[in-house]
Structure 1
Amino acid sequence: MIYNIFIDESCHLEKDGSSIMCIGFIKVPEPNYDDFKTGLLALKAQFKQHAEIKWNQFSRSRIPLYKSFVNYFFTHNLEFKCILVKYKERLGEVDLSRGSHENFYYKMIEFLLKLNQEDSEYKVFLDIINTRGKERLNKIQESLSVTYNDKSPIIDLQHLHSHHNIFFELTDLFVGSVAYSARKLLNEVPVNEAKNEFLSYLEEKSGYSISEGTELWETKFNIIDHQPKQRII
C-alpha cells in the first residue's frame, strides 16, 4: 500500500515567543486520495468557502465547516499524528543533536516519519515555509537514509504550497488546534471562545483531552506529548 503524508507545523521557530512547537501530518491511502480530496472540497463548496483554511485565520462563522472536516476525518480512512513539544526553551545540547534548533526540527521530522507498517511505501509532502526548502529536503532525506540504512519506505519527498492541496488545510486545522490548546494552558494566547468551541468538539470526537496528548498506541488521532527534561549539569 502507498500512503500520501502531508506535514505541517506550528510555532516551529526557535525565537517566536512561544514555549511550544507542534509538527504533524495527515496520512491518506493513495487508493482513496481522489475520493477523499473530492469529499473535502465538496464540503468547502457546500459552505461556500473558497479561501484556504488556515488556523491563524480562524473564524467563528466557519465553525460548521471546521466541524464538518472533523466529522469527515473520523468517518473515513484518514489518520493524524503529531509531536507536541512543550517548554522548548529547555532544549539543550543533547536535544539539539549538538547543533542548532534547526537540527532539532529535522530530528522531530525523522521521529514523526518512523512509520512501522510493513510492505508500505510513502510519499511525503511538506508545506513550503521559507526559502530554505531545498536544503531542508536534502537534510531530511540524508537523515532518513541513515535511519533506514538506505532502504527507506519513503519513495517521494517534496515541497508543496499549502494552498495547492486540501489535505494541508486539514493538517493545519488539527496542528493549529493542538498548538492552541497547549499555548492556552501556558497563558501564551488569549482565550478565544470560538476556538474553544471547536477544540471541545475535536476532543469529543477524538475522546482525548488535546493538551494532554493521547495514548502512544493510538493510530487514528495520535498526539505525542514531549516535554524536554531539565538536566542536571
Structure 2
Amino acid sequence: MSTVYNLYCDESCHLENDGQKAMVLGAVWCPDDKRAEIAKRLREIKQRHGLAADFEVKWTKVSSGQQAFYMDLVDYFFDDDDLHFRAVVVPDKTLLNHSDFGQSHDDWYYKMYFTLLKVVFEPCSQYRVYIDIKDTLGHEKVSKLHDVLCKNAYDFSRKMIQRVQRVHSHEVEQLQLADLLIGALSYLHRNLSGNAAKLVLIERIRERSGYKLTLNTMLREDKFNLMIWQSNGASRWQ
C-alpha cells in the first residue's frame, strides 16, 4: 500500500516588488498517519513553556524571552524522523529578467513551486499539499498551482498529487513549523542581525542540520533539503 504524505508549504518575500531581495519557498512534510501525533507533540511543547495549546508559532514572534521554546521546536523537528523540510532560496530577485524567458512573475513563481516540490514527489506515493491562506495566493492561483504541479509531474489523473488546498496557519501546527524554518532562512539570506534570539535559532539549525544554510545540500538529503537557486542556472554547493 502506498504512503500518503501531507506537505505544508509557506513562503517569505515572494512578491515581485516588495523591496526584499531574498525569497524563500519551503515545505514541511510528514506521513498523513503521523499528522495528528506530530500536532499533539507540538502543542505539548507549547504548553510545557506556559503557552496556550493554540498559540500560533511565527518567525516574527521570536524573541529572547521565548528563545528556549523556539529552540525546543527546532530540536523536535530534527529529532522526529517523520518530519522533513525542503526549501528553495532565491538570494536576489532583482536579478530576475522574466521578459527574457517570455514569462510573468506569476509564471516563474509556479515553476519555483514545482522546483521546490519535485524532489519530494515519488510516483509510488500520494501527496496532499496545504498552503497558508494569503491574499496573494487566492483560489484561482491555488487551482493553477495544482494544474502546474500535476502537469510537470506527469500526474494527469491527479492520483499522485491529490489536492492543493489553502488552510489557516493558526489551525495547522506543521504549517507553523514551516513558517519558523522558512523565516530563519529568509532572515539569514537577507543579512539581518538585529534579533539575537533569531541568530541563536539559525545557529541551532546549522548545528542540527550539519549544513551552512548558504549553499545547496545534497539533492537527496531527506531531513533538511536546501537549494540556492541562481538566475543563471549555476548551483551553489556545500
The percentage of aligned residue pairs carrying the same residue is 33
Q: Take 2:209 and 2:149, find their aligned partners in 1: how far apart are those partners?
A: 30
- The range that moved more, 216-225 or 138-147, is 138-147
- Unpaired runs of at least 5, structure 2: 234-238
Residues 29-62 of structure 1, C-alpha deviations (whole Å, 9 max, x = no match): 1111111110111001111223311112221111
2:206 corresponds to which of 180, 203, 207: 203
Is structure 2 residue 188 aligned with structure 1 residue 181?
Answer: yes
In structure 1, distance between residues paired with 2:193 and 2:223: 30
Q: State the distance in 1 between where 2:223 and 2:193 align.
A: 30
Q: Do the aligned residues in 2 keep the contact of 1:90 with 1:229 (CA within 8 Å)?
A: no
Q: Post-superposition shift, 1:94?
A: 6.5
1:23 and 2:30 correspond: no
Q: Match for 1:104: what amino acid? A: W
In angstroms, what is the RMSD of aligned CA positions? 1.8
Matched, 1:43 2:45: yes
Letter in 2 for 1:226: W
List per-residue Cα deviations over 1:101-122 (Å, max 9, x = no partner): 1221111112222134242100
State the alpha-carbon separation in 2 of the partners of residues 221 and 132 from structure 1: 25
What residue in structure 1 maps to residue 236 of structure 2?
A: none
Tell me the matched-pair count: 225
Does the 8 Å CA contact 2:87/2:225 hold for their aligned counterparts? yes
Partner SS for 2:164? strand
Q: TM-score, normalised by structure 1?
A: 0.90
SS in 1 for 2:44: helix
Residue pair 1:52, 1:169 contacting (<8 A) in 2 also:
yes
Corresponding residue SS for 2:112: helix
TM-score (norm 2): 0.88
Cα distance in 1 for residues equivalent to 2:193 and 2:36: 38
Query: Which range moved further: 98-107 or 83-92?
Result: 98-107
Query: 1:113 matched to which residue of 2?
Result: 117
Deviation (angstroms), 1:193: 1.8
Deviating 4+ runs (over 6 angstroms): none
Aligned ranges 1:83-94 → 2 under 5 Å: 83-93=88-98
Paired with 2:137 and 2:221, the residues of 1 have a C-alpha distance of 33
Alignment partner, residue 216 of structure 1: 219
Which residue in the other structure is 2:228 paired with? Answer: 225
Q: Give how far 1:144 is off.
A: 2.2
Distance 1:124 1:116, change over 3 A: closer
Residue 203 of structure 1 aligns with an amino acid whose one-letter code is R
Distance 1:190 1:34 in 2: 35
Specify whether residues 131 and 183 from structure 1 end up closer, same or farther in structure 2 by C-alpha distance, changes over 3 A only.
closer
Q: Does the 8 Å CA contact 1:125/1:160 hold for their aligned counterparts?
A: yes
